[in-house]
Amino acid sequence: MDFAFDATTNRYRDRLLDFMDECVYPSEHAFHEQAAGSGWSPPPMLEDLKAEARSRGLWNLFLPPSDTRGEHGAGLTNLQYAPLAEIMGRSPGIAPPATNCAAPDTGNMEVLAEFGSEWQRKEYLEPLLAGEIRSAFAMTEPDVASSDATNIATSIRRDGGEYVINGRKWFITGAMNPNCKVFIVMGKTDPEAPKHRQQSMVLVPRDTPGLTVRRGMTVFGYDDADHGGHAEVVFEDVRVPVDNLIGEEGGGFAIAQARLGPGRIHHCMRLIGMAERAVELMCRRVLEREAFGKPLARQGVIQDWIAESRVRIEQLRLLVLKTAWLMDTVGNKGAHTEIQAIKIAGPATVEWILDKAIQAHGAGGISQDFPLAALWAGARSLRFADGPDEVHKRSLAYRELKKYMG
């Protein structure tokens, strides 16, 4: 047992910390100003940041070091990447896209690298790896409890050499961005098959007839336009060639599961970076503000918030790192309990910390003048992502109970 980062991790951390200090933090203000005038596209300056990150060797860091993929990414394990994702999470609207490590592209690239056919990889994976296009992952539906994947109602019906897709999806992150060129769509190819073999995933180019990106959903009032929003997307008799199937028919549920593990690690590590940012902002604020004749930093209740935040962050980070280590050593399946545990603990913990940081900022904390309220909305929305916490707790509890069943 050893809690120190290895040399590779430390090298990348140093490089990334420099990039944050030299390029990311100084751009934040201008980035948000540009974003305000860029509609649903990212601010133009993002391209400069991408070029800079790439030139520094900070590109596609998320890709695991398996044979077919090592050529593209940095070849880092989950355990090596996790602390980097944390650092990116300190400026979650800029650092991940600047380094081509932003969701949902990361998960989509992993899916294509692992399950995509040769032409799919050539057509979509390569420009994604190059940061030329963006992509979306169309899973959640407005009309059913998405907590239960077997509820999915979108149909993907085979008709000769084509699949015909009908359904309605929402909260499709990134899809409002016109440069989001392709959707990975989850739907049912065979409603009669066993519960977890009914679903398949197909690639649907943005300009396919019948696909309508209808509107952006808001998240506590935020449209998140700078990273392409969260779209409602309607599929009406959308037709794609059967070659657009990812993997095999009936394999959709398994692919979704495979995609979730790394996705949660990334989300949770970024959440920790957000929490660290919040603690820093809270500390700086309470040191400089006075009320009732002394700095807020000397109020016991605020000290309590700071201490609790530190205690909770330290625990959460270790669990995420251990989960990454398990995924590297025993695989996603062996890490199932831990992957669920961080999904449960991460958003709730970080939401709590952000709430306290907001409170320490007074009214400013809920406004556009500090990043806290927007970070909060992001953390809060993760309590639904990939199914609400309650579903994960249920499942985790069953696994615990099973240990004692006859």
**Binders of a copy of itself in range 31-90 (CB under 8 A):** 79
Under the binding rule (CB under 8 A), the answer on residue 208 touching a copy of itself is no
**Rounded CA separation 279/401 (Å):** 37
Q: Per CB under 8 A, which region of 13-21, 56-64, 262-270, 341-349 contacts a copy of itself?
A: 341-349
**CA distance from start to end of the chain:** 33
**SS3 assignment, position 201:** strand
Amino acid at site 97: P
**Rounded CA separation 200/191 (Å):** 11
Under the binding rule (CB under 8 A), the answer on residue 286 touching a copy of itself is yes
Under the binding rule (CB under 8 A), the answer on residue 130 touching a copy of itself is no
Furthest-apart CA atoms within the chain: distance in Å: 78
Under the binding rule (CB under 8 A), the answer on residue 148 touching a copy of itself is yes
Under the binding rule (CB under 8 A), the answer on residue 299 touching a copy of itself is yes
**SS3 assignment, position 234:** strand
CB 272 within 8 A of CB 317: yes
**Rounded CA separation 352/366 (Å):** 14
Kindly tell me which residue out of 67, 71, 192, 400 binds a copy of itself, with binding defined by CB under 8 A.
Answer: 400
- Cβ proximity to a copy of itself, 66 vs 315, nearer residue: 315
Under the binding rule (CB under 8 A), the answer on residue 250 touching a copy of itself is no
Q: What is the closest distance, in whole angstroms, from the C-beta atom of residue 342 to a copy of itself in the complex? A: 8
CB 351 within 8 A of CB 375: no
Per the structure block, which two tokens stand in for 394? 């249920």
Under the binding rule (CB under 8 A), the answer on residue 303 touching a copy of itself is yes
- Residue 74 burial (10 A CB sphere; 0-12, 13-18, 19+): buried
Under the binding rule (CB under 8 A), the answer on residue 214 touching a copy of itself is no
Under the binding rule (CB under 8 A), the answer on residue 319 touching a copy of itself is yes
Kindly tell me which residue out of 59, 170, 183, 253 binds a copy of itself, with binding defined by CB under 8 A.
Answer: 170
Kindly tell me which residue out of 156, 297, 354, 357 binds a copy of itself, with binding defined by CB under 8 A.
Answer: 297
Q: Per CB under 8 A, which region of 13-21, 33-41, 42-50, 217-225 contacts a copy of itself?
A: 217-225
**Rounded CA separation 316/244 (Å):** 39
Identify whether 104 is preceded by a cis peptide bond (ω within 30 of 0). yes
Under the binding rule (CB under 8 A), the answer on residue 337 touching a copy of itself is yes
Under the binding rule (CB under 8 A), the answer on residue 326 touching a copy of itself is yes
Under the binding rule (CB under 8 A), the answer on residue 10 touching a copy of itself is no
Kindly tell me which residue out of 36, 51, 193, 301 binds a copy of itself, with binding defined by CB under 8 A.
Answer: 301
Considering only residues 171 through 200, tell me which ones interact with a copy of itself, judged by CB under 8 A. Answer: 171
Kindly give the pairing relationship between strand 180-188 and strand 199-205.
antiparallel
**SS3 assignment, position 95:** helix
- Cβ proximity to a copy of itself, 49 vs 373, nearer residue: 373
Under the binding rule (CB under 8 A), the answer on residue 25 touching a copy of itself is no
Under the binding rule (CB under 8 A), the answer on residue 290 touching a copy of itself is yes
Kindly tell me which residue out of 117, 147, 179, 212 binds a copy of itself, with binding defined by CB under 8 A.
Answer: 147
Q: What is the closest distance, in whole angstroms, from the C-beta atom of residue 271 to a copy of itself in the complex? A: 14
Under the binding rule (CB under 8 A), the answer on residue 166 touching a copy of itself is no
What is the pattern of x (binds a copy of itself, CB under 8 A) and - over residues 346-375?
-------------x--xxxxxxxx---xx-
DSSP 292-349: TTEEGGG-HHHHHHHHHHHHHHHHHHHHHHHHHHHHHHTHHHHTHHHHHHHHHHHHHH
